[in-house]
Amino acid sequence: MSEPCAIILINGKRKCGKDYLALELVEKLGPAVCETLHLSTEIKREYAQLNNLDFSLLLTDSPYKDVYRKEMIALGEARRGADPGHYCRLATEHGSKQCWVVVDNRRETDIEYFKQQYPGKCIVVRVTASEEIRRKRGWSWKSGVDDAESECGLDKHVPDITVCNNGDILSDGFLESVELVVSWVKERLTI
């Protein structure tokens, strides 16, 4: 792991487009300097190992993952209860670029971890989308998931930038928001 110059901490509800924003940011900043890290990948990896499941299928947006979602949330809560930075540390072990896009921050403790470990290098970005748009993307309310801390833990956190991702990048202000984040990162890059 090398020390990053900039860390973009993305959060938002399921099916709001967090991964889409991450892809846009990596594309604009360039894969030579920017990479995506997923806290949820580490939870899924651990859950798959503990339960002898197909890790690669847990990484997909599939019904297979949905079968185990509540149990993965429970595992994540238990680990974070004992050590709030557990999954953050595991994810950053894979980081090697100047800019990290951490896609799935879910709790205040995730944000706190990165801000404490990398002071002055973090920007918090909240992605929003209407429920109608999220439903079109395959979202439906699930008790025990959509009302859990893993989904609501950052609802009251004030981000540095909010990105509206309702699918109309021209009128939602999506492109302008992306450019704000890109400019913030470029001010911190060493190349």
Q: What is the mean pLDDT of each run of 10 residues along the chain (191 residues)?
A: 90 92 96 95 95 94 86 90 94 95 92 97 96 89 78 86 86 90 93 59
Sorted by sequence, the CB contacts under 8 Å of residue 97 that are 6+ apart come out as 2, 4, 32, 33, 34, 35
Closest C-alpha among 167, 161, 176, 163 to residue 132:
167
In this prediction, residue 114 carries a pLDDT of 98
Model-level pTM?
Answer: 0.88
**By three-state DSSP, how is residue 159 classified?**
coil
User: Cα–Cα distance between 171 and 150 in angstroms, integer?
Assistant: 30
Pair of tokens at residue 149: 């801390």
User: Cα–Cα distance between 78 and 73 in angstroms, integer?
Assistant: 9
Closest C-alpha among 89, 84, 123 to residue 5:
123
**Portion of the chain with pLDDT greater than 70, in percent:** 98
In this prediction, residue 170 carries a pLDDT of 65
In this prediction, residue 63 carries a pLDDT of 87
In this prediction, residue 32 carries a pLDDT of 96
CB 6 within 8 A of CB 189: yes
